[in-house]
């Protein structure tokens, strides 16, 4: 079976990707220092798949430690690089943290790959590389405009690094992943306070927070709130498997949007959670948040044509699974 190193593999997206890799016959190896997740996801993966998962507790910016991982693992077919900080608002407050980790971890991964003759990397990018797009839905030919946040800038820089490197690469430009595995055994174990919409909604629903704040209701959108493309994390995880399979057969440099193509406002997302789970969510309107993009959603025609990927899970399923995960976390 083909061995795949997954940096950040114990995290939210990483854990779901590990499950899908195992289901597709790959042997994944997790590299994660648990700086923003926990072993709960690793145990959850093993319960879901009935498979023992190899795990290296390593900081992906540590070249010496990463060298040892590559040496120990021997022949590796490819790397799925997910090790990055992801909170847009925090990146505005702590830009150096994001530059050092997000860019530094990719630099180390690429160096280790070159030294160990590993040719293929699937990179966790973001729709934030587009900044505020001029045309919607946004496709992969849209120019990289000035990033709205240091987080978005790190993804732009990382994609440029991939273009200049000798490796074969696929950059998956995520839109907004939400939800959890239907088993509620893996999910977002972030150690810090959640900054993304749906985890904040579930914390209000469970009683951990009094309310959520919707940042701005005066944008040029139908209800004044920002518009996003919310994608179920299981669908997103499956795109990584398809991307690696595609890359093995099609060497080169590639980039694909991974989203539903459906724009949903923040307010409508709150209402969708309420309707699906028969709950009322307390919210207030606050000022706009630095780093936020007004509206963005994907043109997903290229990823469908090239990878055969398209979203299967509905918004309601994502909202239900997010709530099930939150309830489990409280137990």
Active centre residues (catalytic): 151
Q: Which residues pair with 171 in a beta bridge?
A: 123, 255
3-state SS assignment for residue 99: helix
Any alpha helices (H) in 74-209, and if so which ranges? 88-93, 95-98, 104-115, 150-164, 197-206
Query: Is the distance from CB of 78 to CB of 120 less than 8 angstroms?
Result: yes
Q: In terms of C-beta density within 10 A (0-12 exposed, 13-18 middle, 19 or more buried), how is residue 249 classed?
A: exposed
Query: Is the distance from CB of 189 to CB of 81 less than 8 angstroms?
Result: no
Strands (E), 162-280: 168-174, 176-178, 212-215, 227-228, 230-232, 253-258, 264-265
Answer whether the bond into residue 137 is a cis peptide, omega within 30°. yes
Query: Is the distance from CB of 232 to CB of 309 less than 8 angstroms?
Result: no
Q: In terms of C-beta density within 10 A (0-12 exposed, 13-18 middle, 19 or more buried), how is residue 207 classed?
A: exposed
Q: Which two tokens stand for residue 30?
A: 């997790």
Q: Which residues pair with 170 in a beta bridge?
A: 122, 254
Q: Which two tokens stand for residue 224?
A: 């004044």
Q: Which two tokens stand for residue 99?
A: 């530059």
> Could you give the CA distance from residue 313 to residue 232 in angstroms, rounded to a whole number?
6
């Amino acid at each position: 079976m083909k061995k795949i190193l997954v940096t950040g593999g114990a995290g939210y997206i990483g854990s779901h990707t590990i499950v899908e890799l195992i289901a597709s016959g790959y042997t994944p190896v997790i590299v994660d220092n648990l700086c923003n997740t926990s072993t709960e996801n690793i145990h959850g993966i093993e319960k879901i798949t009935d498979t023992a998962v190899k795990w290296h507790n390593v900081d992906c910016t540590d070249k010496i430690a990463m060298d040892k991982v590559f040496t120990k693992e021997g022949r590796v077919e490819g790397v799925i690089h997910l090790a990055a900080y992801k909170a847009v608002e925090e990146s505005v407050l702590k830009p150096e943290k994001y530059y050092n980790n997000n860019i530094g971890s990719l630099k180390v991964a690429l160096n280790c790959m070159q030294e160990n003759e590993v040719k293929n990397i699937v990179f966790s990018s973001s729709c934030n590389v587009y900044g505020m797009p001029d045309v919607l839905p946004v496709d992969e030919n849209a120019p990289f405009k000035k990033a709205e946040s240091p987080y978005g800038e790190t993804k732009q820089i990382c994609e440029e690094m991939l273009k200049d490197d000798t490796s074969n690469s696929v950059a998956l430009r995520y839109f907004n992943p939400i939800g959890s595995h239907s088993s509620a055994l893996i999910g977002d174990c972030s150690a810090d306070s959640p900054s993304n919409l749906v985890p904040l909604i579930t914390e209000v629903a469970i009683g951990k927070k009094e309310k959520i704040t919707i940042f701005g209701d005066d944008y040029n959108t139908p209800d004044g709130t920002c518009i996003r493309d919310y994608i179920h994390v299981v669908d997103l995880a499956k795109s990584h498997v398809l991307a690696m399979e595609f890359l093995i057969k099609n060497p080169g440099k590639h980039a694909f949007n991974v989203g539903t193509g459906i724009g949903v406002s923040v307010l409508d997302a709150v209402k969708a959670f309420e309707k699906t789970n028969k709950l009322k969510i307390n919210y207030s309107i606050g000022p706009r948040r630095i780093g936020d993009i007004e509206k963005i959603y994907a043109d997903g025609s290229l990823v469908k044509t090239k990878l055969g990927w398209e979203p299967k899970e509905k918004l309601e399923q994502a909202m239900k699974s997010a709530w099930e995960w939150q309830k489990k976390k409280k137990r």
